[in-house]
Amino acid sequence: MARGELAGADARAYWAGVRIWLAGGDPYHPSGPFLPYVYAPWLLPVFLPWALLPWNVAWFAWRGMNVILLLLSIDWAYRRRPLRTAMIVAILAVPITVTLDTGNVTLFLAMAVWAAQFTGPRLGGALWALAASMKWFPALLFIFLPPRARLWGLAAGALAIAFSLLTWPQTLAQIETAVNFPRPLRIDYVLLLWGTVPWFWRHPRPLGDLERRGLREMGAAIGDAVAGVRGRWRGEDAARAARHSMAARARAFFGLG
């Protein structure tokens, strides 16, 4: 709040990017006191309803929604694990402050992964794919999705790739801008880990459950694939058994069996 008009540089880049796009300009090479828009071109309409507001109103709404979502999620976590929640919020204090200062979309992406724990599989997968389309780090949180949401997340991710291919010239401009734009150390990315809190809070033995429900299934599927290749050298029966085991584990990972 003390930085006044200097705050919200990232949010203003989204706001100005949409307006420049609507005016027929290039949001990746803006003219004026704006940072360039650095996300996929097909994501511009996502910001459209908010960007139609005057900047002072838009910035107030953006920061206010960040604060409300953060407080609601802290309340949910604190009611279930008070000490652990307090410790994590203290650890994330600096990334939270940076995000509220710059207006980066980081907290919204963390809350998208958070919400994927409670919505249906289709919406949960779509929220994860949307977050992963804006920044690469949420893609690593795929393992924390509910099983069926993983399947829909892959489908939504494929759709996002298709959108990027359909807007390929603008996508190339986005990649060039994102790679060449000078950035400070992005400590606010740590805030994305907040999106995993519901998963850990809902599992009494999170590491054991993660190994049992996710990583072990993935590792076993890879092992079965290797066994299938080896089985071809040993005989058709061994290869068939390996393929059956791999398919069963893959279905379990994606909540299909």
- pLDDT truncated to tens, each residue of the chain (257 aa)? 566 667 899 999 999 999 999 999 999 999 888 899 999 999 999 999 999 999 999 999 999 999 999 999 999 999 999 999 999 999 999 999 999 999 999 999 999 999 999 999 999 999 999 999 999 999 999 999 999 999 999 999 999 999 999 999 999 999 999 988 887 778 889 999 999 999 999 876 654 555 455 556 656 666 666 666 565 555 566 666 666 767 777 777 788 76
Q: Quick one: pLDDT at residue 247?
A: 74
Q: Quick one: pLDDT at residue 243?
A: 67
How many CB atoms are closer than 10 A to CB 96? Answer: 21
Q: Quick one: pLDDT at residue 84?
A: 93
Q: Could you tell me if 194 and 144 are in contact, meaning their C-beta atoms sit under 8 angstroms apart?
A: no
Q: Quick one: pLDDT at residue 203?
A: 79
Q: Quick one: pLDDT at residue 76?
A: 97
Q: Quick one: pLDDT at residue 152?
A: 96
Cα gap 146→213, rounded to integer Å: 10
Segments making up each domain of the chain, as ranges: 4-201, 206-253
Burial 144-159 (b: 16+ CB within 10 A, else e): bbbbbbbbbbeebbee
